[in-house]
Amino acid sequence: MAAPLQSLLPLEDDSDELRITPLGSGQEVGRSCHLLEFKGKKVLLDFGIHPALSGLSALPFSDHIDPASVDLLLVSHFHLDHAGGLPWFLMRTKFRGRCYMTHPTKAIYKWLLADYIKVSNLSSEQMLYSESDLEASLSRINCVNFHEEREVSGIKFWCYHAGHVLGAAMFMIQIAGVKVLYTGDFSRQEDRHLMMAEIPQIKPDILMIESTYGVSIHEPRESRETRFTKTVKEIVTRGGRCLIPVFALGRAQELLLILDEFWQNHPELHDVPIYYASSLAKKCMSVYQTYTHAMNDKIRSQLALENPFQFKHIANLKGMDHFEDVGPCVIMASPGMMQSGLSRELFEMWCTDPNNGVIIAGYCVEGTLAKDILQEPEDITSLSGQKLPLRCTVEYISFSAHTDFEQTSHFVRTVRPPNVVLVHGEMNEMSRLKSALEREYEDQETPLKVFNPKNLHTLSFHFKGEKMAKMMGELVMEKPKEDQIVSGILVKKNFNCHIVSPDELTKYTQLSSSRISQRMSVAYTAGFPLLHYLLACMFADIEVIPPEQYISDQGDRSDKNEPVPTEVLRIIDTITVLHEPPLIVLEWAANPRNDMYADAVLKLVLKAQELDIPSTKVPALPSKHFDQRHFKECLIELLQEMFGEESVPKIFKGENFALTVNGEKAHIDLNTLSVSSDNAKLCRIVETAVTRLKDTLTPISMKSSSES
């Protein structure tokens, strides 16, 4: 099912193969990015950076795709590992598709990435993008509301609340009827300010779901809040500084709500300051106050009385220049994994004092300082390269708003997808989750298919859907009859097919129709009555048009010197025959059927030129009605040639006679052209001969048999 990168060749537009390729976060956490391909469409899901890496190496493996071929980019939320590479992709590649995220995500994306640029200890050469790139990228980003359906190049999509952080979205993508649900990071547990992730009522064909915590089970919310506040109180009570590394937005707001309430209920702590150390503090809070409709009912009901995000016991700290380190305090500082920035600076200042403490409150990626100190090493290396002893306490109390195994299992069981693709998880955790889910469904009649692809390994699925075209306009004014052939133009837009009348093409599409007129001149010196006679023998519908009427119907003639025809015939309302001595001119509207009729008329023109019979000797024009007598004579001659003269009676009365072949008789009714015989084979042969002779002798007509 999985294939390495070299198999990533372009898919045909009508291929039934759907492919998913992780360009990041495949058996790892960080730089989320996934390529979805189906029916010639390409969708990119997230474009983050890896927190433990820097420069181009932190980006997804986007050099293995052509950004110009991507139709749509959907961003699930504002965290750096999902959106951190977006300015680079939008401004420094050939991507020209559409990019969508929710309104809160776009509002926070701007400030969060601006902060990332400032706190990154990288030279301008190592930076992936500049502030001007970030600013310019905003105009390339479109916003979508939750549950609002959009369509881009035939790709339909809509999003659901994902919990996790403000504005986080799960995207349902539909291409040619096949649905893929991408959860991004999500949480099915409601906290103090965010609602839990929604469960879609629509069953997807493929579920792409995060596996960050694998088979782990989260500590109950009340228990971890109690352990968190108890740990903070212990640190400050012993005279220490409590550092809580967090990202500027997301879990920080949850922890601020917890601490502010705890301080309010414990007057003995009022002298201990709490700082929210982020240059984005005020801007972030304004965003949270703006998008309260995306939060849970508890927050919305509190807002009716007071703003819960206007904290009473928490002060904003813009930077170290505004901080006096004189006693116990609590500081929440970014970034959350302490790779650089203020949280790293404070940690290096305080890690040597055993009275101080660090509380890691979120998920930590392998290779980051936050992950390293959880192993309790004896010392750490500072950004300047100096060895520092690690003497402060380190506690891990996860407030990470990712699903645990119970939430993931319940979500999968409720959504009921036939295929599950695990993303955004370390290799071991992802493998354990894959095995657990497979065991859970192994007794099912149709076992759940679970995949955990590595980066650049492609998953291939096949979906064969029905192809249907809907008739529109005048074609459906009357209900079609059984076995009726409906003729129209098949119009395909994205994955919708319609059949419309050629006359209504401009009404239902942006296409315009045009007509190609053919005109052919042939040298002709024979008499025109001969040509008229030959044409009448082949075609029943011939209209004689006065030359004056023909010229009048042409309107303004561009060539005033063009010769005036002496005779004009209209053949089956399709081919116009003009006699302009010494030429015969044929005019018709080009299409395969008319071209065939024109070829037949041309053949008769050449035959008349070859015969060159004087007009006085040309027979009278044949009757437009079927010549029964002539047919009778020809049929007798045909049967005599087929079966011998003795098989056909030389004299018979009426319109019925019998054909005798080897003692077997076939009775022929010339009125109804029906044949009956005890010998089925003889009957079929004679029926075929009668029918074909009738078709041959009947002049071509565009009218139905009832009209003629």
Residues marked active site are found at: 402
Cβ 46 vs Cβ 152: under 8 Å:
no
Cβ 333 vs Cβ 343: under 8 Å:
yes
CB-count exposure of residue 202 (10 Å: 0-12, 13-18, 19+) = exposed
Strands 206-210 and 178-182: parallel
How far is residue 146 from each of residues 43, 80, 100, 168, measured CA to CA in Å?
19, 22, 12, 10
How far is residue 99 from each of residues 114, 279, 301, 544, measured CA to CA in Å?
19, 28, 34, 65
Helix or strand (DSSP H, E) at 660: strand 656-661
Alpha-helix residue ranges (DSSP H) falling in 26-85: 80-83
Residue type, 323: F
Give dist(CA 500, CA 472) in Å, integer. 5
Any idea what DSSP says for residue 288?
H
Cβ 52 vs Cβ 79: under 8 Å:
no
- Both tokens assigned to 252: 């920080």
Give dist(CA 150, CA 426) in Å, integer. 33
- Both tokens assigned to 401: 């708003």
Q: What is the DSSP string of 196-242?
A: PPP--SSPPSEEEEE-TTTT--PPPHHHHHHHHHHHHHHHHHTT-EE
Residue with tokens 């007129």: 517
Longest dimension (CA), the chain: 135
Give dist(CA 607, CA 589) in Å, integer. 24
- In sequence order, the β-bridge partners of residue 44 are 35, 73
Long-range contacts formed by 122-125: CB under 8 A, 24+ apart: 122/54, 122/55
Give dist(CA 708, CA 703) in Å, integer. 6
Give dist(CA 466, CA 301) in Å, integer. 49
Interhelix angle for 221-237 vs 251-264, to 10°? Answer: 60
Nearest to 171 by CA among 40, 32, 77, 296: 77
Cβ 36 vs Cβ 42: under 8 Å:
yes
Interhelix angle for 405-415 vs 427-440, to 10°? Answer: 50
What does the CA dihedral 3, 211, 362, 297 come to, rounded to 10 degrees? 130
Residue type, 612: D
In 3-state terms the chain splits into helix, strand, coil percentages (rounded to 5) of 35, 25, 45
Residue with tokens 């995306």: 294
